[in-house]
Structure 1
Amino acid sequence: MKLDHIQLSNQEILDKEFKIAMRGYKQEEVDEFLDIIIKDYSVFQQHIERLTQENERLRKNSEHTRSRPANSVHQVNYDVLKRLSNLEKAVFGKKYNEIDSDSF
């Protein structure tokens, strides 16, 4: 949805004056209905602003993630490999020690 296609603001709806005719609509009903529309417009505008801000924040985070240096990725891989190696030593090291002690 493009915002440039919105023709009325909530203020323009609020300020709209209609001509009074002999057999026209009841002014109170029209005013109540317009009040509902104005409230909805306000809610929509707030929601659009929040989404726009969130979109901008996500775009900046995405750019930041893409611009991260390659060293940090390699550092993470190194950390994972180091943890995996320690885990293998803890698990398999005990099994090797048990096998060695059983053979004596």
Structure 2
Amino acid sequence: MEFKLKASAILEKEFKTGLRGYNQEEVDIFLDDIIQDYEAYEKKVAQLQLENKQLKEELAEAPKRTQAAPQVGATNFDILKRLSHLEKHVFGSKLYE
């Protein structure tokens, strides 16, 4: 993506004056506002491009993180806890007396 105009090109632009031309001061004030907008726009685009790059890197690394070793201890504990509840339900409290 290339910009047609840069802030410096707007700043350096000179207009020819005619017999009934525009008020040069008004044009300069308007061009100053345009320059400020272009500079803010260029900064925002650069910021978003950087953020986009970082998010793409995070997205590329996400599968690596999810393929890490599962929490075996937590899984085993959960299974044992469920088994204990099942035993209590099936055999009742007589099993634990």
Instruction: Provide structure 1 residue ranges, at least 5 long, that are not aligned to the other structure.
Output: none
Aligned residues: 95
Q: TM-score, normalised by structure 1?
A: 0.70
CA distance in structure 2 between the partners assigned to 1:26 and 1:79 by the alignment: 78
CA distance in structure 2 between the partners assigned to 1:83 and 1:17 by the alignment: 77
Instruction: Provide structure 2 residue ranges, at least 5 long, that are not aligned to the other structure.
Output: none
CA distance in structure 2 between the partners assigned to 1:59 and 1:52 by the alignment: 10
Equivalent position of 1:100 in the other structure: 93
Equivalent position of 2:4 in the other structure: 7
Moved over 4 A (4+): none
How many percent of aligned residue pairs carry the same amino acid? 28
RMSD of aligned C-alpha atoms? 3.1
CA distance in structure 2 between the partners assigned to 1:14 and 1:86 by the alignment: 74
CA distance in structure 2 between the partners assigned to 1:87 and 1:33 by the alignment: 73
Q: TM-score, normalised by structure 2?
A: 0.75
